[in-house]
Structure 1
Amino acid sequence: MTDISGIDPSVPPSGPGCVECDEVGGWWFHLRRCVQCGHVGCCDSSPAQHATAHWKSTGHPLVQSFEPGEEWFWDFDRDELYDSGPELTQPGARPADQPAPGPAGRVPQDWTRLLHR
C-alpha cells in the first residue's frame, strides 16, 4: 500500500462484531474494519453488507479484514487489494472464540443459502 492517507492506526475497532448487525440481532459471514474510524461491519458476502454501506455513507474507502490470521486491506474507491499496510491498534481481529459465520446463536441453519455471491 503506497498511499496511507485516511488511515488512523490509533483508532480502536468499534467492537467485536458488526455494529449494525449487533443492533438488530443479525449475523455476518466475515468482518471488515474501517481503518479511518474503526467501524466494524460485515463483508459483502454477508446478508446486510454493512462494511460497504459504511463506505458509501461516510466516504471512508479503506478497510482491513477483521478475521483472525488475515492482515489484508481493501480499497473500495480503487477496487484494489493490498496484502499489508500499517499496523493498527489492537485487537486486530474478532475474538478467536467467536465463530465465522457469527455470532454464535444468531446464525440460521440455512446460512449458506443466504450469502451474497
Structure 2
Amino acid sequence: MPLVRRHAPSSYDRWPAGRAVAWTLGLAVTVLAMTVPILLLLGAPATLALRTLPAAGKCGPAVPREALTRLPHSRYVWFSIPVLITTIILAVQRVRTDRRAAPADHPNT
C-alpha cells in the first residue's frame, strides 16, 4: 500500500464548511464539559454555602447549614457516591444503545 497519494485533490476530498463548523462546535462543547466540573469544584460551593447560611441560634433552627455540615461525615456517603456514578454511567450507555438501535428499527432503512 503506497503512502503517497497519486491522484489530484478534488472537491470530494474537502470538508464542507458546515461540517467544519459542526466539528469545531462539538470540540468546544467537549472541552467545556471537561473543564466546568473542575472549575465548579475549585469554587468550593460547600464552603461558600457554609459561610452564607446562618448558624443555629437566635434566628431559629438552621436546618440547611446543619445538614450540610453533617453530610460529609455521614456513614452513607461512602456508599452513595459509587452508586450515583454507576447509575450515571449505565444511563449514558443505555441512551447510546437506544440511539444506535433506533435507525435499525425504522422501516425505511
Give the shorter-chain TM-score range: under 0.3
Larger Rg: 2
Structure holding more helix per residue:
2
TM-score by length of 1: 0.18
